[in-house]
């Protein structure tokens, strides 16, 4: 392979990689938030069997390496279930599941942090379990969870870089390609690292703004 110096087109390549990483991050975050919240609601209602199932699944997902999960989905699923997955599909499935597991844990502890006495009051006044979840628990749990969730998402952004190993051309993979072509690892990886850093800071900033708004909205001093 012939190696060459940087060209202005490399900026487009990096932007492409960045776009792929961001898209994957956003998609898996939305799916993960949704699934993790649904699991937490299942647990809140103590649905028999399902509760044990989602709790065990979350335990498995958060206590095994994401890379192993990724291999399991990408190589294992086709071999086991004759079910072919593209690298992007495997990445979406794995990262969504992983995010969901941690969202579940955060949501469960946020729900449990809400004082029992106000929930008893709501029950006595005849509110249904769903009304209590929606009107009493969710708004307070949200304010409680936003900090840990921001931390989680900053971390999940970094985790997306793992998908480069199964051939998804994300920011890390693009860095790899540029590195092999230019043989300037210090410059390439410094730029790639800086791009992740800026994205992480943006997520943290958005989280902080949201947290401030959630708490200011209630003028409520918290837990």
Partner 1 sequence: MISARGVRKSFGAATVLDGIDLDVHGGEVVSILGSSGSGKSTLIRCMNGLEKLDGGRITIDDFDVSRQKELTEARKRSATVFQLFNLYPHMTAVQNVALAPVEVLKTPRKQAEAEARALLDSVGLSARADAFPSQLSGGQRQRVGICRALAMKPRYLLLDEITSALDPEMTADVLGILAKLAREGTTMVFVTHEIEFARTISSRIVFLDKGQLVVDLPTAEFFAADGGLAMPRIAQFLSKMRKD
Residues near partner 1 (CB under 8 A) are 115, 117-118, 120-127, 131, 135-136, 139-140, 143, 218-221
Given a contact cutoff of 8 angstroms between Cβ atoms, the answer to whether 171 and 196 are in contact is: yes
Cβ distance to partner 1 smaller for residue 78 or 147: 147
Cβ distance to partner 1 smaller for residue 64 or 131: 131
Give me 217's structure tokens: 């909205």
Cβ distance to partner 1 smaller for residue 94 or 140: 140
Query: How far is residue 171's CA from residue 20's CA, in Å, rounded to a whole number?
Result: 7
CA of residue 56 relative to chain centroid, distance: 19
Q: State the nearest-atom distance from the C-beta of 134 to partner 1, in Å.
A: 9
Cβ distance to partner 1 smaller for residue 130 or 205: 130
Cβ distance to partner 1 smaller for residue 47 or 223: 223
Q: State the nearest-atom distance from the C-beta of 217 to partner 1, in Å.
A: 9
Q: State the nearest-atom distance from the C-beta of 127 to partner 1, in Å.
A: 5
152 contact partners, CB below 8 Å, separation of at least 6:
99, 102, 103, 106
Q: State the nearest-atom distance from the C-beta of 118 to partner 1, in Å.
A: 5
> Max CA-CA distance within the chain?
76
Given a contact cutoff of 8 angstroms between Cβ atoms, the answer to whether 100 and 192 are in contact is: no
Cβ distance to partner 1 smaller for residue 7 or 118: 118
Query: How far is residue 210's CA from residue 33's CA, in Å, rounded to a whole number?
Result: 16
Please report, for residues 97, 127, 148, the alpha-carbon distance to residue 103 in angstroms, rounded to integers and kept in the order given: 10, 27, 9
Q: State the nearest-atom distance from the C-beta of 122 to partner 1, in Å.
A: 7
Torsion of CA 176, 177, 183, 186, to 10 degrees: -40
Q: State the nearest-atom distance from the C-beta of 132 to partner 1, in Å.
A: 9
């Amino acid at each position: 392979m012939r190696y060459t110096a940087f060209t202005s087109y490399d900026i487009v390549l990096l932007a492409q990689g960045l776009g792929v990483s961001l898209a994957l991050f956003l998609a898996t975050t939305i799916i993960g938030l949704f699934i993790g919240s649904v699991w937490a609601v299942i647990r809140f209602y103590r649905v028999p069997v399902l509760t044990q199932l989602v709790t065990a699944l979350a335990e498995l997902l958060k206590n095994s390496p994401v890379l192993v999960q990724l291999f399991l989905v990408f190589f294992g699923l086709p071999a086991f279930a004759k079910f072919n997955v593209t690298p992007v599909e495997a990445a979406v499935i794995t990262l969504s599941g992983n995010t969901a597991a941690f969202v579940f844990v955060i949501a469960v502890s946020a729900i449990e942090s809400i004082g029992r006495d106000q929930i008893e009051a709501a029950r006595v006044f005849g509110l249904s379990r769903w009304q209590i979840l929606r009107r009493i628990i969710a708004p307070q749990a949200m304010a409680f969870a936003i900090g840990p969730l921001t931390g989680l998402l900053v971390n999940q952004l970094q985790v997306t870089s793992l998908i480069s190993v199964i051939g998804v051309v994300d920011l890390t993979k693009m860095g790899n390609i540029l590195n092999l072509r230019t043989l300037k690892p210090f410059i390439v990886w410094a730029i790639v690292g800086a791009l992740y850093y800026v994205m992480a800071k943006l997520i943290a900033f958005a989280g902080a703004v949201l947290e401030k708004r959630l708490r200011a909205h209630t003028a409520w001093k918290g837990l």
